[in-house]
Amino acid sequence: MIWKTKSFSAIETITRTGFLVAVTSYILFWLLDALQPGFVSRYFSVHIFLLSAIVFGVWWAAVVDQYTQRPWLESLVALSLGIILAVITWSTSDGLDGYRLLLALMGLFIPSIIYVLIKD
Amino acid sequence: MIILTRFTQFVFILIPILILGWLATQWFVPSGVFFVEHVVGEESPFIDEIGPSQRVEVPVDGMQAIVSDPAFFFVHPHRDFSAVQLEVWFQNETLPIVELGAFSGEDPDVYTLLPLHNRLIDESDWTRINGEELVLLQREQQYASIDDFFASPPARDRVATYRTTYDVPYRLDGYEPTDAEQRIDVSLRGHHEFKTYIKDETLRFTFDYMDMNRDEGEDVVRITVFNEQGQPVAEARAEDDGDSTDEAQPSGVMHLELTAGGLSEGVYKVVMSTTRDVFFRSIQTPQQKVVFLNTVFIGDEVGYSEPPRGTTLWTGSKRLRGQTKHAEGVQTLTGDSGEVEVEEPYQWYVLELSGAGVESVEIPAGDLELVTEGKMAFSASQYFDPDPTPLSAYATVEQLDVDYVLANYQSPRQEGEWLVADVGFLVEEIIDDDHTWKFSFSTPGIDALETSWLVHKINAWFFKEAIDL
C-alpha cells in the first residue's frame, strides 16, 4: 500500500487561506468592536471582512478539487452558530415581548436549517 | 510556484495583523496626541456637524454659514484624554467677537468661553503689545512692555479687560464707614451674588426671606462671603422651613444674619446660594455700597404683598435682557434713555440704554429676570463698579472711557482665505456625557446685525500621557 499526501492546487490553497483569514478576521474584529464600540467601526466597516469571506468562499467553492465531508464537525459548527445567534437575538430584543422567544428559537435553528438545505 | 503561493498566504495573514496593530495604536495613542481633521459637510465619527439647523445653513463646498446664536457641535473622543485643542478655520467680516465655549456646568448651564476672533482688538489703531498670552492696547503709548505695565499699573478705572483679570485692588477714595442702616426693599428670588465695600467696619447683612414651597425638595439658604483673593471668609446658613412639598404653602418671614468683623479694606463678594423657592423680601445693612452682579430675579409677591411693589434699579450697563414667566409680569421697563415693553411671557426682551454713566431703570410690576454683563444696585448711592470695564461686543475700544485694554487673546493666523484660531480646554472642565463633549460658538450681535460667518474646518488634537516603551 502506498500512502500519498493529499495535494491541493495553488489557487485552491490561496482561496482557502483567503477564506479562513477573512472569516477569522471578521469574527475577531466584530468581537473587538462589540467589546469596545467604535474600536473598528470608527475607521471602517467590519463587514468588509464578511464580504471578503464571501468572495473567497465562492471562489474556493468554484476551484475546489475534492470535497471531504465531516458531518459531525459541520453539525457542531451549525449548532454553535445557532446558540450564538439565539443569545444575540435574545439579548437585543428586549422590547419585543411575546416575539422574543420565537425569534431566539428561530436564531437557534436557522444555521442548522441552512446547513441541511445546502447539504441536500 | 510554491514560493508564490506561500508568499500570497503570508500576505493574506499579514493584512489583518497590520490592521489590528494600526487600530491598537489609534486606541492606545502611544504618542500621547491624537489628531482629527474635520471639514464641515464631511462625516466624522469624532466631530459632529454644527447645529441646530435653524441657526446654520447647509454646508456647501466645505463651507458652512452660521446665521444665529448659539450654534454648537458635539465631539466624541474614543477614549480618555486630559486636554483637547480645537482649531477652527473661519471667515468673519462683520461680527465684533467670535468665541468658542466648552459646556462646563449644569443648572445653570455654564460655558467656558475662549476667543477665536476679536475684531475690536485686531482692528483697533491703539498701540498694541503682544505678550505670550496677553495683549495690551494703549490709547497713548506709556509702556514699552506688558511687564512694564504690571510693574507700574494704571488706575483700575482706566483699564478695560477681555477674558482676563486685572489684579490691582479697588479702593474708594474718601470712603468713611457709617452706622446708618440701609434697607433694600425688593423681592429677590433664588440665587444672587453681590459685591460690597468694607473699610474699618463690620460686614453685616440681615436677610428677611420666605420659603414659598412651590417646588418639591429642601430649600436651604447659605450666604458666603469671599475676599478679594476669592477665599471664603464668613458664612451664614439656614435650614429648610420643614416643608419640602410643592404645595405652595409659604413660610412666615424668616431672618438670617451674616456678620464678619476684622475684615481688611477692600471689595467683598457675597453669594446668596439657595433654590428658586426662596424669596428674599428685604436686606438690611450698614454697608453703603451694594451692587448685584450679572443677574437679578425680581420675584413675584403672591402670598406676600398685593399688589406687587415693583422696584427701581441703577446700572452702568447699557444693555439688559429681561424675561418674565407669568402674564402678571408683562410690563414696560423704563430707563433714563430707553424703554422696552415686555409683551409676553417666556420671551427675552433687550433694554438698550444710550445715556452716559449710571442710569435708573423702573420695573413697575416685578416678576422679572434681568441679565446683564454689568452691575445693578437698588439705590443710586449704593452703586459702585469695583471691576475693570469689560470689553464686550456692544462697544468699540474707542467708546470705552479707558486708556488701556488688557486681553487674554491671540489673533488668528491667516491660511489662504481663512482665519485659523486655536483654543485649548482641560477635559476636567468639560461636562462628559457618555464620552460626548458639547462646544458652542458665541457670536453676540449676530441676530441684531442680521449677518453670518463661515466655518470651513474644525480640527482637534486630543492629549493624554504618552506611553513610554
Q: What is the pLDDT of residues A14-34, one digit of tens each?
A: 999 999 999 999 999 998 998
Is the domain B33-120+411-463 a CATH 2.60.120 member?
Answer: yes
Beta-strand runs (E) in B81-187 = 83-91, 97-105, 110-118, 127-130, 134-138, 159-162, 182-184
Nearest to B203 by CA among B160, B171, B236: B236
Q: What pLDDT, on the 0 to 100 scale, is given for residue B108?
A: 67
Distance from CA of B419 to the nearest CA of A (A): 29
Q: Which chain B residues are within 8 Å of A21, Cβ to Cβ?
A: 12-13, 15-16
Q: Do B9 and A14 touch (CB under 8 A)?
A: yes
- Which chain B residue lies closest to A15 (C-alpha atoms)? B9
Domain residue spans in chain B?
1-30, 33-120+411-463, 303-379
Beta-strand runs (E) in B302-367 = 311-315, 319-323, 331-335, 338-342, 349-352, 359-363
Q: How far is CA B17 from CA A24, A53, A104, B10, B83, in A?
A: 11, 16, 34, 11, 31
Of A21, A38, A41, the CB nearest to B12: A21
> Which band of pLDDT confidence, cut at 50, 70 and 90, is reported for residue A71?
confident
Nearest to B276 by CA among B307, B256, B297, B247: B297
Single-letter code of the amino acid located at B67: V
Q: What pLDDT, on the 0 to 100 scale, is given for residue B107?
A: 63
Q: What pLDDT, on the 0 to 100 scale, is given for residue B173?
A: 87
Q: What pLDDT, on the 0 to 100 scale, is given for residue A6?
A: 65
Q: Which chain A residues are within 8 Å of B4, Cβ to Cβ?
A: 10
Q: Which chain A residues are within 8 Å of B13, Cβ to Cβ?
A: 17, 21
Q: What pLDDT, on the 0 to 100 scale, is given for residue A4?
A: 64
Instruction: Report yes or no: B166 and B406 within 8 Å, Cβ to Cβ.
Output: yes
Interatomic CA distance for residues A37 and A39, integer angstroms: 6
Nearest to B311 by CA among B423, B185, B404: B185
Name the CA dihedral angle for A80, A86, A91, A96, rounded to a multiple of 10 degrees.
170
Largest CA distance in chain A: 64
Nearest to B289 by CA among B224, B371, B386: B386
Single-letter code of the amino acid located at B436: T
Nearest to B212 by CA among B183, B161, B253: B253
Interatomic CA distance for residues B35 and B29, integer angstroms: 10
Instruction: Report yes or no: B336 and B353 within 8 Å, Cβ to Cβ.
Output: yes
Give the pLDDT mean for A68-74: 85
- Specify the pTM: 0.76
Q: What pLDDT, on the 0 to 100 scale, is given for residue A68?
A: 78
Q: Would you list the DSSP string of B344-361?
A: STT--EEEE--SSS-EEE
Q: What pLDDT, on the 0 to 100 scale, is given for residue B167?
A: 80
Q: What pLDDT, on the 0 to 100 scale, is given for residue B357?
A: 83
For the stretch A22-66, pLDDT in tens is 999 999 999 899 889 999 999 999 999 999 999 999 999 999 877
User: Between residues 32 and 71 of chain A, which touch chain B (CB distance below 8 Å)?
Assistant: 32, 36, 38-43, 49
Q: Which chain B residues are within 8 Å of A28, Cβ to Cβ?
A: 16, 20
A7 part of contact set with chain B, CB < 8 Å: no
Q: What pLDDT, on the 0 to 100 scale, is given for residue A64?
A: 85
A80 part of contact set with chain B, CB < 8 Å: no
C-alpha cell at B18: 497590520
Q: What pLDDT, on the 0 to 100 scale, is given for residue B32?
A: 96
Q: What pLDDT, on the 0 to 100 scale, is given for residue B373?
A: 83
Q: Do B27 and A36 touch (CB under 8 A)?
A: yes
Buried b (16+ CB within 10 A) or exposed e, B196-231: bbbeebebebbbbbbbbbbeeeebebebbbbbeeee
Q: Which chain A residues are within 8 Å of B27, Cβ to Cβ?
A: 36, 39
Nearest to B280 by CA among B254, B306, B258: B254
Q: Do A42 and B45 touch (CB under 8 A)?
A: yes
- Which chain B residue lies closest to A19 (C-alpha atoms)? B12
Q: What pLDDT, on the 0 to 100 scale, is given for residue B156?
A: 85
Instruction: Report yes or no: B181 and B284 within 8 Å, Cβ to Cβ.
Output: yes
The H or E element that residue A72 is part of is helix A71-92
Q: What pLDDT, on the 0 to 100 scale, is given for residue B151?
A: 93
Residue A7 pLDDT exceeds 90:
no
A10 part of contact set with chain B, CB < 8 Å: yes
Counting one residue from A and one from B, how many pairs have CB atoms under 8 Å apart? 44
Q: Which chain A residues are within 8 Å of B16, Cβ to Cβ?
A: 21, 24-25, 28-29, 49
Of A13, A24, A38, the CB nearest to B9: A13
Ranges under pLDDT 70 in chain B: 107-108, 469
Of A10, A13, A38, the CB nearest to B78: A38
Residues of B within an 8 Å Cβ radius of A = 1-2, 4-5, 8-9, 12-13, 15-16, 19-20, 23, 26-27, 45-46, 78
Residue with cell 462697544: B395
Of B4, B9, B16, the CB nearest to A25: B16
Q: Do B16 and A43 touch (CB under 8 A)?
A: no
Of A14, A18, A43, the CB nearest to B23: A43
* ipTM topping 0.90: no
